[in-house]
Each structure stands twice: as structure tokens, then as C-alpha cells.
Structure 1
Amino acid sequence: MSTTDPDIAIIETSSLGDRSYLISHDGIAVVIDPQRDIDRVRALAAEKNAVITHVLETHIHNDYVTGGLELARATGAEYVVPDGDPVEYERRAVVDGDVVDAGSTTFEVMHTPGHTHHHVSYVLHRRGEPIAIFTGGSMLYGSTGRTDLLGSEHTDELTHAQYHSVRRIAAELAAEVEVYPTHGFGSFCAATPTSGDSSTIGEQQQSNPALTQDEHTYVDELIAGLSAYPAYYAHMGVINTKGPAPIDLSMPEPVDPDELRRRIDAGQWVVDLRARTAFAAGHVDGSLGFELSTSFVTYLGWLYQWGVPLTLIGETTDQIAEATRELARIGIDSPSGSAVGEIHSLVGDGKVRSYDVSDFAGLAAATGEREISVLDARQQSEYADSHLPGAVNIPLHELPHRLEEVSAAEVWVHCASGYRASIAASLLDREHRTVVLIDDDYEHAVQLGLHTSPA
């Protein structure tokens, strides 16, 4: 019998702020909360020389399309899903106290409601002793999963449940037990920002608000602090309950300049993946700039008109392939076309549009020289903490429906880093507005003394 502990491998999906896990021991692997692109998981299992025998879900996910169903079907693994979720496919439905036997390791099911009603965590046992817990959207690093994704009518009940779930985890497990959440690495499924890349029960006893605050304070502060979350979340639970189709990562068909123009004129989405400064320097009139970065899929999914044909523009086919994978993770399947190359080769008979890029020092210099307006594309909570005098706050996700509120003057657009501002600038440019992108860290505005702090 092996005396080694199981190997716990982390599969990062940084663009969505989530982690999946592959736990292997003695040639057997268990996967927890896999993303839709299961090729990564299967490659890792092969690397570990392990056969996937079980796929475990902590809950019906709201921020990504699961790969669990397809992974189980492709490998013949048992698919384990919390009982009570009305899924439309065969699975093993588990409840509190059930045990999943994976050879020399076992996983005990712990019902931990809060993020959802039926949410469970899995306690990994080795030689009869708990050594780790996979907490999904329950206990996160210095935070907990948000409790408002099932509708406001459930938020209060779920927030109280979340408090007690995290307290139960801490009460039943030893301080040295390692904690492995699915959310909390930038995911909007976290109620508040998380901290750190690893933790134990003992460390959470010192930092987690559900363990350091009384119930009343925890509930009030969590609910008061809940901010907006991406609009595409509304589609994820539906897809995951029905059962996602297998992922399709084939390259979108090439599109020529004339067809690009036709699609834009027809109101379709044509998205440019190049760096935000490259987009500002030259782009196809009517296209939108969503720089391919770790924030790409979150904000495109947030603003995207669900079901509208989507065409991608990139510098290389690798960019197109990466974006296709990212989009598939949130259920935007099979983009309807792609165009690759230098931007002047993609405009056909049309003109290349452009706009200026500056920084907060440039804004300070321009203020007073001519009539300008400042658009702050950050969340309302960020604006409330500190903002520029006279800046109009329209959060990026609200801008498509509030364009008429933006001044007709020259508009300088900023956010915290320049990424959200670049998308906002492209939305305004599509309306042929005069826009300047402030591609700068907001901290520089503070250093220049441009900000207004709340009283």
C-alpha cells in the first residue's frame, strides 16, 4: 500500500478567476469542478499516469459552463452532483455524509449551502484522516462566495446559510487541513475580494469574515457590499442544468473585408482582439476593441448581446484560437467568422478609424485648454471611494444603454487600469464620438492630486 499523500494539482482559469482540481493517487484521479475545455484536464491526468474515475461538482456553476458532464462521458467516470439540483442528465446525486470512494482516497460530502441552496464541499480523507477540503463557492481565501446569484428573494436566507456553512467547516476540521476553493481568484462569484493563493482552516480562522465576525455583522456587511456581476451569469445555470454540449474549438471561418463591412452594417458584433493601444491607433470602423487579456472574456460576456453573430479580428490565428476557447468557457460557441492580418488589409474600401491615447498627466494638461468631459467607467463603489472632480460615472456594463448621457464634447475615458476604459472608448468611437483613452493606472491620478476623496 502506498504511504504517499495524494497529489493535488491545480488547473487555473485565471480569465474567470477560478480553479479546478485533479487529485491523483495510485493511478486513480478525481476531478473537481472542471472547466469546459477538458483537454487540459485529460492531458494532466495522462501526465500523472492516472485514470479519471470520478468527476465531482460542488454546485451548479453560475460563472462558467462546466466540463464535468462531457469529461465523465469521455472517460467513463462517475459524475457526482449535489442532490436537489434539477439537472436533466444522469448523475450520482449526493447528500451530506455520503462518501465517494476513489481507491486509496475517499471524499466525504459536506452540505455547505450559501452560494447555492444545494452547494456541497468535499473533504478528502487519506488513511481515515481529513487532509483537505474542496470548498467550491463556500469558504474562500479571506472571503466567501456571493449569495445573490439565485435572486434577491433568496439572498438573506443564503447569506445566513453561508455563515453557518463556513462555521461548520471550521468546527469539524483540524487547523492544518488545507482549503481548496473553486472561486476567489478574481471571480465575481466571490462576495468580496480574496487574498492569497493557498490556505488552511487555521489561517481562515484568523482572516475569514464568517469566522471573525458575528452573524449579524457578517450578513449585513456581505449584503451591503455585493456589487454588480456579469450579465452572462444568467445563462450559465440554465446551460449547466440542461447539460452542456461538447466543446467546439475549431477555427472560425475566414472573412474578407467586404463581409466584415456587411456584418458590421447589419449590426453584428465584430470584436478586435489586439492590444488596446493598437486598436486606438487603427481599427475597422464599427468594430469593438476587447484586448485579449485575462479580463477579456468577463467583459465581453458582460456586454455581449446574447445570440448575436460574433466575428473576431486578430493579429494571428493563435489569438483567434485563444479567444474561441475563452468564449466557449462561458457558452459563446463557434464564432461566425474571423479575420487575421494587418488592419489596413482588413478595411477594404473603408477607412481606418483611430483615436488618441493619453494618461492622467495628459488629462491634467488638457484640462482648461479646451472643452472636455471625463467619463469614469469603473463600478459605482470604486467611484464612491475616490474619483476625479467633475467626472461622470457610468460603469462599463451600463454604457451601451446610457450613451446619450455622455457629453457631446471631447470625452476622456478612464477606469482603474485602462482596460475597461478601452472598451468604453471603442463603444463611443463606434458612435463616431471624439474620444481619448486614458491608458493609465488610477493611482497616478491620485499621485497627481487629481482625485476627490469622499468626506
Structure 2
Amino acid sequence: MYFQHVYDKSLAQASYFIGCQKAGVAAVIDPKRDVDTYIEIAKANNMKITHILETHIHADFLAGSRELAKLTGADMYLSDEGGQGWEYEFPHIGLKDGDQMKLGNLVIDVMHTPGHTPESISFLLTDTPAINKPVMLFTGDFVFVGDIGRPDLLEKAAGMIGTQDIGAKQMYQSIKKFEALPDYIQVWPGHGAGSACGKALGSVPSSTVGYEKIRNWAFQFEKDEKGFADYLLEDQPEPPKYFAMMKKLNKVDRKLLTEVPKLKSLSAEELKANLAKGMKLIDARDKAEFAAGFIPGSINIQGNNSFGTWAGWFLKYDEPFMLLADENQLDDLTRKLMRIGLDNIEGYISGTSVFEETGGTLQRANNISLEETKNLIHNNNVQVVDLRGAAEFKAGHIAKADNVFVGTLAENLDKISKDRKVIIHCQGGDRASIGYSILARNGFTNVSNFSGSINEWVGAGEDLVS
């Protein structure tokens, strides 16, 4: 058997390439949308991709199953569980609980494991030349290392009222299926630490059934179904805004993108005209470089592993947008955007000089130090705005601070004072830079950014309240 774990750090998303070397055939489980990765693996190992599998209708990334099928001719094997409203709306081979697929000498059995979503399935793999017993379980968003999939996404992200309580009950029953499996089976989940699909995902890539039964919190409730459901639903992180669109695009027929686009370099005149039309410019530079001089109206989303997630909060799927990034970043950033279906990139500029050529003047961020922050809080009537998530705020925050999550800041501008000085912060400064750019774009001139944020506050021995 050939096995390769393909991990996208930007979305903490795992996909899997599994092959039978004797038969020269392979399957890909939960492929990302830039599918050249899998085609290169197949070519390097003299294999043909014949099977494409999905564990469920994903909400956190745009699956590349259809792109991969178009390029390879492979069949798509997708869940037909979940009932009305949970059907994939394009041709595929449907899978039900108990179904079995053969991939050369490999056998893949289907388990219906609802809870995260009603149609979720897991794949149990047997490598028959080695042993006639299952050895691997691909769980998707069912069981993670140290956590399980959240059932509240459909309600919070897609507005499907009442589904989280039903999902919690289904998850409790699915957990019983998992517990009945042999302890030695390896567990390969769909996500790792940093994913918004759970609240306590581990950072190691895989586990075993036995380890999860003794270590994962979900298996400690025994017969207490209500306690299990209550703990599962509380303090989950805010689901990114783009999740609802992913759920839709992964279900319906859509336009395919079979290669990574090459971006157009924008002239000074094109940039000026686009900005005049109100087109958004995403500045992917480091936050310190952005603070030193930025194009008015631009939004600072640093080109790190969180780039795609934050872009999904602030960009709409029906609007074109521009990038400011070094040319050597473009392929990586374009991949991160296409993985969540943000394809309307009008073009890019490689620096602010293009804007200055048009006679434009850069703005500077008003970043302040810890001492300046303390003095303003103690001696002035200022508003302190904590841009972190609700669970982070609840765990400990600066006294009298208001909590406005940065992802929803643009919809909650009325909660930011225009009459007083405002100090914003987050945990380490990245989200505060996003927040500052959002407020500056919307005309706020009374904002100071405590860029050191909570990490510096606590590191200096300052108190938090909860």
C-alpha cells in the first residue's frame, strides 16, 4: 500500500492519497481544490487516480473533487446519507452505511457517522496483503485528535435553525460506533489544530481508536448524553462567514478551476480607477510594514497561514478585488484564495509605489506602546475594544473592555465610539492590524492600535478580568 498525508496548513485541512502499488491505482480522500498536488504524486509513483472520496459536504474549504475528476477521469464516491436536502446535486456514485469499495488489493468500508453534518461518513481501510483486518479510519470531521466535529456550524454559519441540537444527539450515537472499533486502528482526521471545525483539536496528524477513547474528552461522558451535548456546543469559535458559501458550492454544480491562475500586474492607472470604484485592495504585507505606510482604504490581511480564512470574512464572492503582495507570494496566496472559492482576483500590485505614482499619499497606522495604552486607559475617557473571539474574551480581558470580534467588525461599526479615543487590540497583534485597517477604511480617525495586545499586557504582569 502507498499512503501520503497531504496537509494544508492554511486551513489546517488534511487530505489523503492512498494507492495499491500492485494494481497501480489510487484514491484521494477530501482533495483540496489545487489538485496538481495529487496528480504529481500519482505521476511520481506510476499510479492512476481512479477513486475520489469525500467524507461530507464541506463547509470550511472548496473540495477539489470535481476538478480532480475532470483532469483524471476518476469516479467520485460521495455520501447518499443524510436524507432530503443533503444530496449532492451533480453526478456521482452514492455511498451508504455498510457499502464497500475495492482499490486493487485495498478494501474501503463505509461507516455513516452523522453529527457534524447529517450525511457525514467515515472510511475504514483494510490492506488485504498485509492483514485481513481494518487498519486505518479516515474520519473527516467526525473524530479529530483530542476533539470531535462541532454540530453547530449548520445553524451558526448557514442559518439552519435547530440543527445543532439534532447534530449533538447524532454525534453521541456516532461516538458509540467509534468506541466499538478495535483500539489498534489508526485514526486519520480531516483537520488539525487551528481549524474552526472544533475547539480543541490536537496538533499531531493522527491517533488511534484506543488513544482517543482514553484521551479525547468526548469519550468521558459515558451515559451522560446531555452533559456531552452541552460541553460539545459551548465555547465553540466563531465560524468564518465564508462557511455558508462553501456548504452551498460543495453541494451544487459550479464552475471548475483546473489550474492555478496567473495574476495580472496592474498599472498605476488601473489601480487608481479600481480604487475609485470602491474595489477592495487586500494588502498581504507584514503588519509592521503595513503600519509604516498603507494605501488608504486597503485591508491588511497578512500572507501567512491565516490569510485565506480572514479573506473569507471580508471578501464577497460576487465582487472583484485586488492584492498587494510580493511576486514570490502570488502563487501561494492565489492557492489559498482558490481553496475557498475566492476566484475574482482582478490583479495585483507588488508595492505601494504604484499608488504613489498616481500622486496618492500613504497613511500610517497609529500604533501605541504598552505604556501609552496604560496611560490612556488610566487618565482618559477611552473605549477599549477587544477584537478577539467571544470565548477568548470570556477567558480573560482588560477591565471594562468591549468585545467586538474582528470578523464581524464591519457589521458592528456602531459599537465603536466616534466621540472618544478608541484603543483596539487582540491577542498578538495580527487581528488588531486587520481591525485598524477596517476602521480606517470606514473613516475612523480616533483609533489607536495597541499592537502588543494581550500577550504584551500579560507579559508585563498586568491583570485581566473574566
Could you tell me the TM-score, scaled by structure 1's length?
0.93
Report the equivalent of 1:119. Answer: 120
Picking from 220, 226, 229, the partner of 1:219 is 229
Indicate whether 1:277 and 2:288 are aligned: yes
Picking from 179, 185, 207, the partner of 2:187 is 179
Q: Tell me whether 1:245 sits opposite 2:255 in the alignment.
A: yes
1:261 to 269, 272, 277: 272
Report the alpha carbon displacement of residue 369 of structure 1 after superposing the two structures with TM: 6.0
Distance (whole Å) between structure 1 residues aligned to residue 177 and residue 384 of structure 2: 48
The residue that corresponds to 2:96 in the other structure is: 95
Any idea what the Cα deviations from partners look like across 1:386-419, whole Å, max 9, x if unmatched?
A: 1112322111122102223223344332111211
Aligned equivalents of 1:338, 1:13: Cα separation in 2? 24
In structure 2, the partner of 1:435 is 447
The offset of 1:8, in angstroms, is 2.3
Please say which of residues 251-260 and 203-212 is displaced more in the overlay. Answer: 251-260
Aligned to 2:58: 61
CA distance in structure 1 between the partners assigned to 2:378 and 2:267 by the alignment: 45
Q: Give the conservation status (yes or no) of the 8 Å contact 1:145–1:183.
A: no
Give the aligned CA root-mean-square deviation in angstroms. Answer: 1.9
Indicate the larger mover: 349-358 or 36-45: 349-358
**Aligned 8 A contact 2:25 2:50 in 1:** yes
Whole-angstrom distance in 2 between the partners of 1:24 and 1:305? 38
| Partner of residue 20 from structure 2, selected from 19, 25, 35 | 25
Query: Which structure 1 segments of 5+ residues have no match?
Result: 1-5
Aligned counterpart in structure 2 of residue 200 of structure 1, from 208, 214, 222: 208
Q: Does 1:140 align with 2:108?
A: no
Q: How does 1:10-409 map to 2 (within 5 A)?
A: 10-26=5-21, 27-84=24-81, 85-127=86-128, 128-150=132-154, 151-171=160-180, 173-213=181-221, 214-247=224-257, 248-314=259-325, 316-341=326-351, 343-347=352-356, 348-364=358-374, 367-368=377-378, 372-408=382-418, 409=420
Aligned counterpart in structure 1 of residue 3 of structure 2, from 4, 8, 22:
8
**Equivalent-residue separation in structure 1 for 2:359 and 2:14 (angstroms):** 46
| Unpaired runs of at least 5, structure 2 | 155-159
Q: TM-score, normalised by structure 2?
A: 0.91
Equivalent pair of 1:96/1:111 in contact (CA under 8 Å): yes
How many angstroms does 1:272 deviate by? 0.7
The Cα shift of 1:358 comes to: 4.1
Cα pair 1:361 1:448 within 8 Å, conserved: no
CA separation of 1:203 and 1:361: change in aligned 2, threshold 3 A = farther
SS in 1 for 2:391: helix
State the 1:196 CA deviation. 3.1
How far does residue 302 in structure 1 lie from its aligned partner after superposition?
A: 1.4
Shift of 1:370: 5.7
Secondary structure (helix, strand or coil) at the match of 1:336 reads strand
Count of matched residue pairs: 446
1:111 partner letter: H
3-state SS of 1:353 partner: coil
Residue identity opposite 1:344 in structure 2: S
Residue 357 of structure 1 aligns to which amino acid in structure 2?
A: N
Please say if residues 14 and 185 of structure 1, whose CA atoms lie closer than 8 Å, have aligned partners that are also in contact. Answer: no
State the 1:267 CA deviation.
2.2
Residue 441 (structure 1) shift = 5.7
Q: Does the Cα contact within 8 Å between 2:105 and 2:127 map onto a contact in 1? A: yes
Q: Distance in 2 between matches of 1:450 and 1:198?
A: 38
8 Å Cα contact 1:250/1:334 also seen in 2: no
- Residues 347-374 of structure 1, C-alpha deviations (whole Å, 9 max, x = no match): 3211111113345355235544666432
Contact kept, 8 Å, 2:291 with 2:365, in 1: the verdict is: yes
Classify the secondary structure of the residue corresponding to 1:221: helix
* Alpha-carbon distance between aligned partners in 2 of 1:41 and 1:441, rounded to the nearest angstrom: 41
Shift of 1:307: 1.5
Q: What CA deviation, in whole Å up to 9, does each residue of 1:21-48 have, x standing for no partner?
A: 1112313221100011101111122223
State the SS of the aligned residue for 2:250.
helix
- Range that drifts further, 262-271 or 65-74: 262-271
Query: What percent of counterpart residues are identical?
Result: 31
